[in-house]
Amino acid sequence: MTGIQAEFAIAGAQNEADVQSLIGRLSAPVKVPREHDFGIDFFCQLYGDTQRKSVSVTDVFSLQAKGMTEDLGFGGFRKDGKTWRDYELAWLRTLATPLILARIDAEPRLDLYTLAPVWRVLWQTAAPFEIVCTTEPPTAATYQRFDPKHAVRDGAPGDGRTWTVPLGPPFLSLTHAALSKPAWCEQARNLLAMHVRIERRNLLMFQLRVAIHDCVEKWSTNGFGDVVLSKAMFWSVAPGGNLPELAAALAPVAVNLGAHLQWQNDHAAYLLIGVLEWLDQRGDLDAMGKGLLDGLTTTKAQGLGPSERRSSP
């Protein structure tokens, strides 16, 4: 039976097919069914080193696919001008895989943008009213990253600010012609892998509330080998601000590091005693941590190495 469909639905389906065919040269993409699409269009796994008759995959990342003119933003008001889309910001904060913006045009050409600068906004404000991302076309010239800017929105909830985040030009621009060259394809995969790993580390740090963030500072589209990184750190001046989260992240690391040093009989283990005592006073040290602290304080008092505990007479 003959029927009709909305033009935008057809265009969207064609765009998704083009995205899948292009990103599929570098990774194994899995399309998210439309009824389960809440912001991620594809989950991808990067292809690893090719063996004689097999291929493996490594890093997982996700794509949000859009046309060249579609906006990308999080939060703000819905069309009624009253309802705050804070659920989009909540979704963003809980991402478990690196999210990359993919813009597709009619050539087809797939431009990939990192969303790393967005997290620098989330480190600066607990409740941004709105985050709007802007992009630029591919360029062979070196691009210098710009910091996000904000404008006050009267009567807006959250922090009452619309944050504009320049994503700059794509770090990678894919065409079928370029991807047909094995050497170029390998360089593109390595560049994508670098960005995915940077973003995975940033996500882990964000979820642990360790406020240190890596970002690409300078780059050019398809600039293999000319990427410049920068590091930023954020902190709270409010007494006790972010300390519970940091202590919770620090405790297992300090205990595991201390156990390694202890059983390697490395006297550097004793440098951790002050940190372990602070964690214990806060109530963040578990039974393993308490045992480590007791062992280190005992052997240090006895003038022994960390793993040379002497029995009491």
pLDDT one-digit tens code per residue, 172-196: 999 999 999 999 999 999 999 999 9
Q: How far is CA 13 from CA 7, 9, 40, in A?
A: 10, 6, 15
Domain boundaries, the chain: 7-233, 243-301
Distance CA 289, CA 247 (A): 13
Give the list of residues 6+ apart from residue 158 with CB closer than 8 angstroms, or none: 75, 84, 86, 89, 125, 127, 128, 129
Q: Give me the pLDDT at residue 174, please.
A: 96
In the predicted model, what is the mean pLDDT of residues 125-139?
95
Indicate the pLDDT class of residue 233, thresholds 50, 70 and 90.
Answer: very high
pLDDT tens column, 53-102? 778 888 999 999 998 888 899 999 998 888 999 999 999 999 999 999 99
Tens of pLDDT, residue by residue over 4-61, are 545 555 556 677 889 999 999 999 999 998 877 778 999 999 998 766 677 888 899 9
Model pTM?
0.88
Average pLDDT taken over every residue of the chain: 91
Rounded mean pLDDT of 274-287? Answer: 96
pLDDT of residue 11: 57
Q: Which pLDDT does position 71 carry in this prediction?
A: 84
Half-sphere exposure of 286 (CA within 13 A, CB side): 10
